[in-house]
């Protein structure tokens, strides 16, 4: 029995108590972009209720073309206007370099990825990098509020990163 | 006052009850890749506890280079071995075409994105597409279980999509 099977059993309990469906567009017009880290239960951290906000997540909570794609769809088709960025302390992205990560893959399989791994040495600097990538991208045009935070995995608190 | 401010107020309540920190590597060795849809509270849908699984999310729950980047980091650096893909009924990605979406952007700002919007006309077909993109990618090499599901936003239930 895999962990996936256990989670499917949990889902049966969830469905038994479920009351839906809710409308498709996020009711609070918010998009959250956060790290994939297992300790970030974004709905609890922000007190999000079902149907309120889009939640986009990846390794690091960084901004690449795919997050721009998601944000553009979120804003243009589903009406979100606020963006919340969340990095966090004790992040795996602080523990390696792009060069070493890609060398490890090349040594294993003989092919080096063409993409960047997006590792970073400083949390606040990378939140600012993400803020700037969004501010300077031409395809994310409906933003009325854009703010970045570092989630502290020891305290549960979001600490804001100022823009510069 | 923005919605972001309201959510920060919620976070103060969360931090007041918080007991951490947990270790960095996902304790159940699972990575979930799901749509960003506001109705998908992935932790509740699967019964995930804090620290158990990476959660990657984007518009559609599709697989592009950035999801491969996240999955490669998840597996190679943090030891995940199972992957759970989640699309859902009533998805926004069913409601438009890449051509129309990109034309809308070009008409507004004069620049057409070089990336694909990844809209799709059929949910199960796109889950299979995502399964195949992972199976055929050389950089995601540690997978021991890979399964895809459609979450029903009316019932709360995950329905598995068979591979072919």
Read off the pLDDT of residues B56-78 as tens digits, 9 standing for 90 and up: 999 999 999 999 999 999 999 99
B75 CB within 8 Å of a chain A CB: no
Which residues of chain B from 89 to 118 reach within 8 Å of chain A, CB to CB?
Answer: 90, 92-93, 95-96, 101, 104-105, 108-109, 111, 113-118
Average pLDDT over residues A114-136: 98
CA dihedral A153, A158, A159, A160 (to 10 degrees): 140
DSSP per position, A79-144: ---EEEEEEESS-GGGS--HHHHHHHHHHHHS---SS-----S-HHHHHHHHHHHHHT-TT----S
pLDDT above 90 for A164: no
Q: Are B7 and A47 in contact (CB under 8 A)?
A: yes
Average pLDDT over residues B130-158: 98
Q: Across-strand partners of B145?
A: B82
For A17, counting Cβ atoms within 10 Å of its Cβ (0-12 exposed, 13-18 middle, 19+ buried), the class is exposed
pLDDT cut 70: percent of chain A above it: 99
Q: Are strands A145-151 and A82-88 parallel, antiparallel or unpaired?
A: parallel
Residue A13: pLDDT band by 50, 70, 90 thresholds? very high
Residue B20: pLDDT band by 50, 70, 90 thresholds? confident
Give the residue among A58, A108, A65, A149 at the shortest CA–CA distance from B113. Answer: A65
Classify the C-alpha dihedral A68-A23-B6-B16 as positive or negative. Answer: negative
Shortest CA distance from B54: residue in chain A: A38
Q: Where are the domains of chain A?
A: 23-161
Contact A69 B92 (CB under 8 A): no
pLDDT cut 90: percent of chain A above it: 98
Q: Which residues of B touch A11 (CB under 8 A)?
A: 45-47, 156-158
Shortest CA distance from B29: residue in chain A: A3
Q: Which CATH class is domain A23-161?
A: alpha beta
Q: Rounded to 5 degrees, what are φ and ψ at A65?
A: -55, -35
B79 CB within 8 Å of a chain A CB: no
Contact A36 B31 (CB under 8 A): yes
Give the distance from residue A137's alpha carbon to the nearest chain B alpha carbon, in angstroms: 11
pLDDT at B63: 98
Please state, in angstroms and rounded to a whole number, the distance separating the CA atoms of residues B15 and A113.
Answer: 39
Q: Are strands B145-151 and B158-161 parallel, antiparallel or unpaired?
A: antiparallel
Average pLDDT over residues A41-53: 98
pLDDT above 80 for A109: yes
pLDDT above 90 for A135: yes
Please state, in angstroms and rounded to a whole number, the distance separating the CA atoms of residues A106 and A110.
Answer: 5
pLDDT above 90 for B164: no
Residues 6+ apart with CB under 8 A from B108: A141
Is A87 labeled as ligand-binding? no
pLDDT above 80 for A163: no
Q: Which residues of B touch A58 (CB under 8 A)?
A: 56, 58, 66-67, 69-70
pLDDT at B6: 98
pLDDT above 90 for A20: no
Residue A120: pLDDT band by 50, 70, 90 thresholds? very high
pLDDT above 80 for A32: yes
Would you tell me how many other CB atoms lie within 10 Å of the CB of residue B136? Answer: 8
A54 CB within 8 Å of a chain B CB: yes
Q: For the segment A75-89, what is each residue's pLDDT rounded down to a tens digit?
A: 999 999 999 999 999
Q: Rounded to 5 degrees, what are φ and ψ at B96?
A: -150, 175
Token pair of B107 as six digits: 């008409």
Average pLDDT over residues A56-78: 98
Average pLDDT over residues A110-137: 98
pLDDT at A47: 98
Give the residue among B156, B130, B135, B155 at the shortest CA–CA distance from B145. Answer: B135
Long-range CB pairs of A21-24 (<8 Å, 24+ gap) are A21/B39, A21/B90, A21/B153, A21/B154, A22/A50, A22/A51, A22/B38, A22/B39, A22/B153, A23/A51, A24/A78, A24/B37, A24/B39, A24/B90, A24/B92
By Cβ distance, the residue of A7, A72, A155 closest to B84 is A7
Token pair of A28 as six digits: 């609070």
For the domain B24-161, what is the CATH superfamily, name and number?
A: Carbonic anhydrase (3.40.1050.10)
Please state, in angstroms and rounded to a whole number, the distance separating the CA atoms of residues B132 and B144.
Answer: 15
Give the residue among B125, B148, B11, B4 at the shortest CA–CA distance from A40. Answer: B11
């Amino acid at each position: 029995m895999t962990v996936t099977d256990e989670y499917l059993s949990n889902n049966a309990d969830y469905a038994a108590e479920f009351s839906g469906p809710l409308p498709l567009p996020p009711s609070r017009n918010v998009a959250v972009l956060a790290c994939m880290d297992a300790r970030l239960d974004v709905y609890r951290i922000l007190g999000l209720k079902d149907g309120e906000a889009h939640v986009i997540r990846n390794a690091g909570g960084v901004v690449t073309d795919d997050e721009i794609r998601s944000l553009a769809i979120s804003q243009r088709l589903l009406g979100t206007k606020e963006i919340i960025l969340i990095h966090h302390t004790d992040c795996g992205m602080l523990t390696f370099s792009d060069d070493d990560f890609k060398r490890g893959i090349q040594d294993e399989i003989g092919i080096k990825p063409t993409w960047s791994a997006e590792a970073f040495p400083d949390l606040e600097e990378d939140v600012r990098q993400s803020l700037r990538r969004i501010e300077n991208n031409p395809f994310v045009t409906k933003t009325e509020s854009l703010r970045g935070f570092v989630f502290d995995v020891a305290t549960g608190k979001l600490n804001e990163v100022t823009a510069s």
